[in-house]
C-alpha cells in the first residue's frame, strides 16, 4: 500500500501483516516450546538457558551474533525420524539445511544416512566418517569432477536429474570400471503449497525429469540400458516447508504409477522410492507441524496402499528431511545495538547481524519470532522490526514482532528456529564475518563451526 493512499501517514493496521500479530502475546517473557529448542528455558533470574548454559555466558564466550544449537534436541529429532520409519526404510538427512563434521558424526551415531548436493558437502561427509554407502548425491548440475569423486568413493546412490546426467554418470562409472547405483528424480506435477522458490514438483522449473509426456519413462528406458548404471529407484521431492500431506499423497501415487509402468514395460520391479524432504516446522506459534511418526505412518500407508492396488511389491521407502531435523534445534543470539522508535509506525531494533546470517526473511518473506533473552521485562509491548547492520533496507530479520518497550542497547535477543538454511545460506555481504555455530549439551558448549575472522576473509583476497 502506498503512503499517498493515507496522507496522514499509515495507521497501525496498514503496517501489520494480515493475520499476524494483530495483538501482542499475553506474556512477552514466555517462550513457546513449539518454536524453541527442547532444552531452552528461562531461569529464575530471567536469563534464558539452553542445555543448562545461560545466553549471557554464551555471548561472553563466543560473542554475538551466534547460532546456538541444542545437541540433545538435534539427536532426539534425528532419532525420532529414524525410529518412526523403522528398519524397512531409510532416513537421509538433507545436509544443505546445515552441515558440519559434528553433525555428520551425530547422524552416523543416530543411524541416519546423509543427502549431499555438492563436492563440498560430500567432502564434509566423508571427512567426518560417514560411510559412503550411506550417502546420496543430489544436484541438478553435478560437475564431472563431482560425479567422478562420488563414484570413486562408492556413494550409495546418485540421484540423476537430467538426460545429460544419465549419460554422464554412466560414462564416468563405466570408465572407472564401476556400476553406480542411481535413482531418477522426476517431477510429478504437484503444486506444493509453499513459497514459489522452494516448490519443486511442478513442471516449470529446473529440477528433475517430468513425468508428463513420457519423459520420465524415457529416462528409465535409457538408464536401464546403460552398463555403468544400476537403476534402483525413483525419486520425488515436492518442495519445502510443507504442512499438508496431500501433496505427498499425490506424489506417491504418481511415483508408484511409474513403477507399475516400468514393471509392465521392462519386467523390472524397482526396489526403492524416495519421497524427498520438505516437512514444515514451526517458525511462529501459528504453525502446526506434523510429528515424524505421523508422517512415517501416513507415507508408509500411502505407498503400501498404492502398491497393493498396482500389484507391486512395496519398495523400500526413503525420505530426506533437513529443516524438520535441524531447524527447530537452534536460535540466533544477537546483541541489540540501536533502538529507533518511528512515531505511528513501529520501532526498528538493529542487531549485530542481519541478512548475512539469515537471508530467509528477505528471500522468502519468511516469518520469525524474537524474544528478549538476557532478562525479563514487565514493560508494555512495542511493535518492533528486527533489522540487521547491512547497507540495505531489505535487511530484515524479523518483520513484525512484539518486544518489551524498555528494550535497550546491550540487551540480548534471540530468534528461534534458525537451525536450517541460515548458517548454510550465510554470506559475507559487507564483509560480515559469518557467525559460529555453538553446540550446547548437558552444561557444556563448544563451537562446532568457529566464527570467521578478518584473516579468513583476507586469505581469499590474493590480489
Ligand atoms: N531433498 C531434496 C532433493 C531437496 O532438494 C531438499 C531441499 C531436501 C531434501 C530437504 O528439504 P527440507 O526437508 O529441508 O525442506 N533454502 C530454502 C529451502 C531450500 C530447500 C532445497 N531443497 C529455505 O530456506 O527455505
Q: Judging by DSSP bridges, how do beta strands 371-372 and 330-342 pair with one another?
A: unpaired
Cα separation, 335 vs 66, in Å, equals: 10
Rounded to a whole number of angstroms, the distance between the first and last alpha carbons of the chain is 46
Closest ligand 1 atom to 324 CA: 13
Closest ligand 1 atom to 240 CA: 15
User: What is residue 257's three-state secondary structure?
Assistant: helix
Cα separation, 322 vs 422, in Å, equals: 12
How far does residue 131's CA lie from ligand 1's centre (Å)? Answer: 22
Cβ of 85 less than 6 Å from ligand 1: no
Cα separation, 423 vs 309, in Å, equals: 44
Active centre residues (catalytic) = 391
How far does residue 402's CA lie from ligand 1's centre (Å)? Answer: 29
pLDDT tens across 184-235, in order? 999 998 876 666 655 666 777 899 999 999 999 999 999 999 999 999 999 9
How far does residue 289's CA lie from ligand 1's centre (Å)? Answer: 16
Q: What are phi and psi of 388, to 5 degrees?
A: -95, -165
Cα separation, 96 vs 94, in Å, equals: 6
Is 112:93 a contact under the CB 8 Å cutoff? Answer: yes
Cβ of 121 less than 6 Å from ligand 1: no
Q: Residue 302 belongs to what H/E stretch?
A: helix 292-310
- For residue 116, pLDDT over 80 is answered with yes
| Average pLDDT of every residue of the chain | 93
pTM: 0.94
Cβ of 388 less than 6 Å from ligand 1: no
Q: Could you give the domains of the chain? A: 41-70+328-459 (2.40.37.10), 138-321 (3.20.20.10)
pLDDT tens across 257-291, in order? 999 999 999 999 999 999 999 999 999 999 999 99
User: Angle of helix 292-310 relative to helix 71-85, nearest 10 degrees?
Assistant: 20
Cβ of 360 less than 6 Å from ligand 1: yes
Cβ of 277 less than 6 Å from ligand 1: yes
Q: For residue 255, what are the contacts with CB-CB under 8 A and spacing of at least 6?
A: 186, 188, 234, 236, 273, 275
Closest ligand 1 atom to 363 CA: 24
Would you state the pLDDT for residue 14? 39
Cβ of 328 less than 6 Å from ligand 1: no
Closest ligand 1 atom to 242 CA: 15
pLDDT tens across 229-252, in order? 999 999 999 999 999 888 998 999
pLDDT tens across 142-192, in order? 999 999 999 999 999 999 999 999 999 999 999 999 999 999 999 998 876
How far does residue 279's CA lie from ligand 1's centre (Å)? Answer: 9
Cβ of 208 less than 6 Å from ligand 1: no
Grid cell digits, residue 358: 539469515
Would you state the pLDDT for residue 3? 32
Would you state the pLDDT for residue 205? 81
User: What is residue 269's three-state secondary structure?
Assistant: coil
Amino acid at each position: 500500500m502506498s503512503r499517498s493512499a493515507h496522507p496522514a501517514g499509515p495507521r497501525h493496521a496498514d503496517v501489520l501483516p494480515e493475520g499476524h500479530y494483530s495483538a501482542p502475546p499475553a506474556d512477552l517473557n514466555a517462550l513457546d516450546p513449539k518454536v524453541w529448542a527442547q532444552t531452552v528455558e528461562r531461569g529464575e533470574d530471567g536469563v534464558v538457558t539452553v542445555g543448562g548454559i545461560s545466553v549471557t555466558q554464551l555471548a561472553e564466550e563466543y560473542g554475538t551474533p551466534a547460532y546456538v544449537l541444542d545437541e540433545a534436541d538435534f539427536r532426539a529429532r534425528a532419532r525420532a525420524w529414524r525410529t518412526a520409519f523403522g528398519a524397512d526404510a531409510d532416513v537421509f538427512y538433507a545436509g544443505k539445511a546445515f552441515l558440519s563434521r559434528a553433525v555428520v558424526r551425530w547422524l552416523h551415531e543416530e543411524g541416519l544416512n546423509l543427502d549431499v548436493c555438492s563436492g563440498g558437502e560430500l567432502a564434509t561427509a566423508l571427512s567426518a566418517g560417514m560411510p559412503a554407502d550411506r550417502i546420496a548425491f543430489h544436484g541438478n548440475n553435478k560437475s564431472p569432477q563431482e560425479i567422478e569423486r562420488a563414484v570413486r568413493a562408492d556413494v550409495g546412490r546418485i540421484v540423476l536429474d537430467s538426460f545429460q546426467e544419465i549419460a554422464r554418470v554412466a560414462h564416468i562409472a563405466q570408465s572407472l570400471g564401476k556400476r553406480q547405483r542411481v535413482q531418477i528424480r522426476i517431477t510429478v506435477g504437484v503444486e506444493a503449497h509453499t513459497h514459489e522458490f522452494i516448490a519443486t514438483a511442478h513442471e516449470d522449473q529446473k529440477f528433475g525429469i517430468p513425468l508428463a509426456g513420457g519423459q520420465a519413462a524415457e529416462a528409465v528406458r535409457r538408464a536401464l540400458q546403460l552398463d555403468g548404471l544400476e537403476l534402483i529407484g525413483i525419486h520425488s521431492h515436492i518442495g519445502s516447508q510443507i504442512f499438508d500431506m496431500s501433496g505427498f499423497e499425490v506424489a506417491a501415487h504418481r511415483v508408484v504409477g511409474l513403477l507399475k509402468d516400468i514393471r509392465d514395460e521392462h519386467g523390472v520391479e524397482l526396489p526403492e522410492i524416495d519421497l524427498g524432504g520438505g516437512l514444515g516446522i514451526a517458525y511462529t506459534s501459528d504453525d502446526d507441524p506434523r510429528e515424524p511418526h505421523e508422517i512415517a505412518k501416513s507415507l508408509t500407508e500411502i505407498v503400501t496402499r498404492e502398491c497393493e492396488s498396482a500389484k507391486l511389491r512395496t519398495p523400500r521407502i526413503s525420505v530426506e528431511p533437513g529443516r524438520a531435523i535441524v531447524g527447530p534445534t537452534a536460535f540466533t543470539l544477537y546483541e541489540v545495538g540501536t533502538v529507533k522508535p518511528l512515531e505511528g509506525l513501529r520501532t526498528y531494533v538493529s542487531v549485530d547481524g542481519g541478512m548475512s546470517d539469515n537471508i530467509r526473511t528477505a528471500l522468502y518473506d519468511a516469518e520469525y519470532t524474537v524474544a528478549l533473552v538476557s532478562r525479563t521485562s514487565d514493560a508494555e509491548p512495542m511493535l518492533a522490526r528486527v533489522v540487521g547492520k547491512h547497507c540495505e533496507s531489505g535487511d530484515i530479520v524479523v518483520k513484525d514482532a512484539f518486544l518489551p518497550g524498555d528494550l535497550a542497547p546491550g540487551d540480548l535477543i534471540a530468534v528461534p528456529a534458525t537451525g536450517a538454511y541460515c548458517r548454510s545460506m550465510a554470506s559475507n555481504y559487507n564483509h560480515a564475518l559469518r557467525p559460529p555455530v555453538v553446540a550446547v549439551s548437558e552444561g557444556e558448549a563448544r563451537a562446532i563451526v568457529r566464527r570467521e575472522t578478518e584473516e579468513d576473509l583476507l586469505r581469499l583476497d590474493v590480489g
